[in-house]
Every structure is written in structure tokens, then in C-alpha cells.
Amino acid sequence: MTAVAAVAFTVLLVALAIFQIALIAGVPWGRAAWGGADEVLPASKRIGSIVAVVLYVAFAVLALIRAGLLGDAGDALGVVIAMWIVFGYLALGVLMNAISRSKLERFIMTPVALVLAILALVVALGR
């Protein structure tokens, strides 16, 4: 179950990374991200999208390690703690998306964030 959750988590993060990369490139999808104030993201929010992509990669690698799909350090205390921190971060993301002023963000990104948080919880709970 943990491995399946980690793979699903990674696939969803890859999809979000592609979305963020499109925002960085200037695709006018900004109404669904970063509060929805800008159709095309300004430079400061594009930097935020770059940071998001880096975090998504780190989160995916961590989940795959925790699930035992990348190496054998999945039960190491640091990995376990880090995965719980990721879960907390993503749980907070559910709230932030749910209270966004952007309808697109509330109705599209909130369910995505919720699924990510649930998958992160399954991975954090372990093998």
C-alpha cells in the first residue's frame, strides 16, 4: 500500500511540476495558482513556482525513499520525520487552497492538495 501511495504521490507531483513549469514559461494559467490574482505570473511569483518545482522533486524522492522504492533508508528516523513534515506542509496547503480568493484554486487545487496530503499521510505511516 505504501509503495502504491508513493508512486501515485510522485505522479501527481510530476503533474503539478509540469503545471508550475508552464506558469514559469508564461502560460496564462495564473488564475489557478498563487491566489489567482495574475493570469500570467509576474517574476516574483515565477520564482515561487521554481521553488515549488524543487520542493515537488524533493517530496517525491523522499516519498519513494520512505516507501522503500529508492534505497533502503525508508525507516531511518530522519526520513520518517521529514515525511511527516511534508504531510503537515501539504495539509496546510489544503487549507490555504480552500480559503483562496480564486475560485479556480478553491475548486481545482483544493481537491488536488487534499489527495496529495492523504497520499503523504499513507506514506508517512510507513510500510
User: Which grid coordinates belong to 104?
Assistant: 479556480
pLDDT in tens, 12-58: 999 999 999 999 999 999 999 999 899 999 999 999 999 999 999 99
pTM: 0.92
Rounded Cα–Cα distance for residues 32 and 29 (Å): 6
Q: Position of cell 492523504? A: 118
Query: CA dist 69 to 76, 90, 97, Å?
Result: 14, 21, 30
pLDDT in tens, 87-103: 999 999 999 999 999 99
The C-alpha angle 32, 113, 94, rounded to 5 degrees, equals 95
